[in-house]
Amino acid sequence: MTQHYFGHRIQQLRKSKGWSQADLAKRLGKKASSISSYETDAKAIPVDTLILLAELWDVTIDELIYGENVEILSVKSLSPEKKQVVSELIQNFAAKSGGKASTKVENLELLLRIAQAMGLP
């Protein structure tokens, strides 16, 4: 079975709207070459762009990544503080190994902030 990565899903959603890469790039304030890089998984999609894509297509980030049949936790209804925490979580765990690695303490602190933001004891 061929495995498709996130870029393939972005391409499917773009095409379902009948948009070219240039159309999507214009809506996002990006270059068409950036959209091409995202769709081929040659370039990681910044978290702020993921959020814009989700809002543009009125889907959750989970739906962007996994498709429509995923059990989802919508970030649409989260407060700005909770959205920021989720964004930090994604950035922290999606960091490439070539960049500054997060320490275990930083990860624990982030998880504690998430728990507090979600109202967990």
Question: Does residue 42 form part of some domain?
Answer: yes
Within 13 Å of residue 70, how many CA atoms lie on the same side as its CB?
Answer: 13
Domain count, the chain: 2
| 87 plus 51 within the same structural domain | no
CATH code at position 18: 1.10.260.40
Within 13 Å of residue 121, how many CA atoms lie on the same side as its CB?
Answer: 0
114: Cβ contacts below 8 Å, ≥ 6 apart:
85, 86, 89
Q: What is the reported pTM?
A: 0.54
Q: How many angstroms separate the first and last alpha carbons of the chain?
A: 42
- CB of 21 within 8 A of CB of 32? yes
| 34 plus 56 within the same structural domain | yes
Instruction: Give me the domain span that covers residue 53.
Output: 6-66
Helix (H, G, I), strand (E, B) or coil at 18: coil
| 20 plus 53 within the same structural domain | yes
Question: Does residue 90 form part of some domain?
Answer: yes
| 42 plus 93 within the same structural domain | no
Chosen domain end from 27, 42, 66: 66
62: Cβ contacts below 8 Å, ≥ 6 apart:
70, 72, 73, 74
Please give the chain's pLDDT, 121 residues, in tens. 344 567 888 998 999 999 999 999 999 999 999 999 999 988 888 888 989 999 998 887 777 777 765 554 556 677 888 778 777 777 766 654 344 455 666 766 777 777 777 666 5
DSSP assignment, residue 99? S
**pLDDT of 96:** 47
User: What token pair was written down for 97?
Assistant: 């190994």
| 60 plus 85 within the same structural domain | no
Question: Does residue 73 form part of some domain?
Answer: no
Find the radius of gyration of the CA atoms of the chain: 16
| 49 plus 18 within the same structural domain | yes
Question: Does residue 56 form part of some domain?
Answer: yes
